[in-house]
Amino acid sequence: MNAPKRRRISSGEINQVLDEESDTDDLFDGESSSSESSSDEDIEGTNSSSDSGSEYDFSMPSDWTPRGRERDPFNFVADPGVKFTVKDKENPLEYFEKFFDDEIIDYLVEETNRFAKQFLDENVEHLPPHSRVHGWFDTYASEMKVFIGLIILQGIDSKCDNSMYFSTRESVSSPFFRKVMNGRRFDLLHKFLHLVDNSTITDGPGRKLAKIKPFADLILKKFMNNYIPSRNVSVDESLLGWKGNLPWVQYIPAKHKRFGIKFYELCESSTGYKWNFFIYAGKDTQYMEKYMNLPVSNRIVSSLIDPLLNKGYCLYTEDFYTSPTLADALADEKTDIVGTVRVTRKDVPAKIKGTKLKKGEKVAEFRKKSMVLKWKDKMEVCVLSTMHDDSMMKVKSRRGKEMYKPKAVADYNANVGGGDLSDNLLVHFLTARNRLKKCHRKVFRHLLDMSVLNCYVTYRALGGRVVRREFILRISERLIMKYGEERPVPLRRPPRLTAKPSRLIGRHFPEYCPATDKKKRPQRICAQCRKNNIRRDSSYWCKDCEVGLCVAPCFRDWHTKE
């Protein structure tokens, strides 16, 4: 039987067959084809950005799809960096006076004097005659600056109580403090330091923060005006340790000091500069009015990032704040977001919630400019990003081992720690000690710590190389040198039975007791005789030990016997 004759098929017939097959597929898989077409349009529309990365078509369908490409970040149009000039870039005092300027100092002087007057008017009849409060006189700007300089120095030279800085006991003595300011005067300034006029405080909204917020707002204005953060910023909470009786004290077990006053902060990721913040006070927390209808987590983020919207910033957040709804809202304001997200959040795609992964596996869903990715390493990690796709990159672990991670996860790890960085820097030189009985005093010291840290960030941004400890010391020293009046250290008689640790070592010589205003040849009680319950005066003393001693045998016994 003869084989059929082969005929060459023309190109027109091939195209006709393909068209028929395409029509058949559309009949049976119309929904699928429509979905794929819609997805392709969505992806194309979402990524149809200009070279600047600032134009996106958000009118496309909002359904989640497993197909997507990397989203370009918005065009960054802010002008980051330090917004003031200094004459001497190596003078730390110039930086500090940009934050604690005359406006801040005059405000503190005015409120401190006002509160002291109010206190004396109300309590003068009930005060004992020897109360130190009777010695109060109005403070002034230069004295307030010296007072602040001493508080800053306390962050370096840490002691448990203010009185120890002015003690004459050799083992804990700090002569510099006594030379700069009288201990009683320092205590009075610390007692009457105030941040608001009490007569203006009324019941109602804002009552909880009434003694703090006016001064905090002044400091916040300086933070914002003096520096503009770079593109990557992060939102986090910080806890100022406090266990006093405040109804809005928070408990955060993950923090070092678990109980305290919570600050919500927006920080620059690379330096930890605290650019924006507000204090949490429960229902009395003062968010921005236009965001009051949002969920609490979105309200916090929106209130902090609001001044930076429409400038192309990228915000890094933890899972408490991140949600697809927030990502869409920020994308409408030309602001990117990268953050871990809880799979139980509203609008997280069902595929992300229900898929079980093995180590190294991933699953991602896309809509508009957002991507939600779940990846498993040791544990499952869920990340939301408006500027990444699901691609992987090679990174090194802490132990130097190479591994692959999603780009979104690696970028998040590198930039989310702005708040933690600033808190870690603050903890080394804190002036806000635990043993403070008034909440507003501790908040004042915390705001002072934040200001000094931000000073140091601006100093480094302008090329400074001095380490932070030396920078803080120079601020304190130059404040005192410029505005302080040197006063002699009074020669005080130490407790008669208190022996200095150095009495049994070194070389000691008897001398005549120093003259006083009343006597040219005074006498002192012999400390060695007093130890033996004998009262005997001597014209001689040991200058190093600052105690009176009989020439023989007490002088020898005092320096040789325990």
Helix/strand/coil (H/E/C) assignment for every residue in 162-230: HHHHHCCCCCCCCHHHHHHCCHHHHHHHHHHCCCCCHHHCCCCCCCCCCCCHHHHHHHHHHHHHHEECC
Measured in degrees and rounded to the nearest 5, phi and psi for residue 380 equal -75, 135
Amino acid (one-letter) located at 13: E
Mean pLDDT of 394-422: 89
Q: How confident is the model at residue 257 (pLDDT cuts 50, 70, 90)?
A: confident
Q: pLDDT at position 205, please?
A: 76
Q: What is the pTM for the complete model shown?
A: 0.77
Are 270 and 281 in contact, with CB atoms under 8 Å apart?
no
| Three-state DSSP class for residue 489 | coil
Q: Write the DSSP string, 264-310.
A: EEEEETTT--EEEEEE--GGG----GGGTTS-HHHHHHHHHHGGGTT
Please determine, for residue 28, whether its predicted confidence score (pLDDT) is greater than 60: no
pLDDT in tens, 324-340: 999 999 999 999 999 99
Place of tokens 């802490």: 398
Q: Rounded to the nearest 5 degrees, what angle is found at the Cα of 75, between the Cα atoms of 60 and 48?
A: 30
Q: How many CB atoms lie within 10 A of CB 43?
A: 16
**Cα(212)–Cα(195) distance, rounded to whole angstroms?**
6
Q: Does residue 385 surpass a pLDDT of 70? A: yes
Q: Which string of DSSP letters, residue by residue, matches 59-82? A: TS----BS---PPPPPP-----EE
Coil, helix or strand for 430?
A: coil
Compute the distance between CA of residue 13 and CA of residue 110 in angstroms, rounded to an integer: 94
* pLDDT given for residue 268 in this prediction: 96
DSSP state of 544: T
Average pLDDT, the chain: 84
Tell whether the torsion through CA atoms of 433, 436, 441 and 443 is positive or negative: positive
Whether the predicted pLDDT of 458 surpasses 70: yes
Contacts 24+ apart (CB under 8 A), 348-352: 348/324, 348/372, 348/382, 349/64, 351/64, 351/66, 352/382
The pairing of beta strand 232-241 with beta strand 314-317: parallel
Q: CA–CA separation, 328 vs 317, rounded Å?
A: 15
Task: Convert 318-335 to b/e letters by CB count within 10 Å (16 or more is b).
Answer: bbbbbbbbbbbbbbeebb
The confidence band for 34, taking pLDDT boundaries of 50, 70 and 90, is: very low
Cβ distance 149 to 476 under 8 Å? yes
Residue 140: what residue type? Y
The string of DSSP codes covering 19-34 is HHHHHHHHHHSHHHHH
**pLDDT of the residue at 1:** 43
The rounded distance, in Å, linking the Cα atoms of 507 and 550 is 17
- In this structure, how many other beta carbons lie within 10 angstroms of the beta carbon of residue 198? 13
Q: Which helix (H) or strand (E) holds 261?
A: strand 259-268
Specify the pLDDT at position 3: 45
Q: Which of 288, 308, 302, 304 is nearest to 229 (CA)?
A: 308
- Render 349-409 in DSSP notation, one character per residue: -HHHHH----TT-EEEEEETTEEEEEEESSSEEEEEESS--S-EEEEE-TTS-EEEEEHHH
CA separation, residue 287 to residues 9, 163, 308 (Å): 74, 40, 16
What digits encode the pLDDT tens for the residues 339-358? 999 999 988 999 998 888 98
Percent of the chain with pLDDT over 90: 52
pLDDT digits (tens, 9 = 90+) for 478-531: 999 999 875 554 444 444 445 666 767 778 889 998 888 778 888 888 988 988
Contact 427, 453 (CB under 8 A): no
- Position 126 confidence tier, pLDDT thresholds 50, 70, 90: confident
What's the pLDDT tens digit per position in 540-561? 999 888 888 999 899 988 888 8
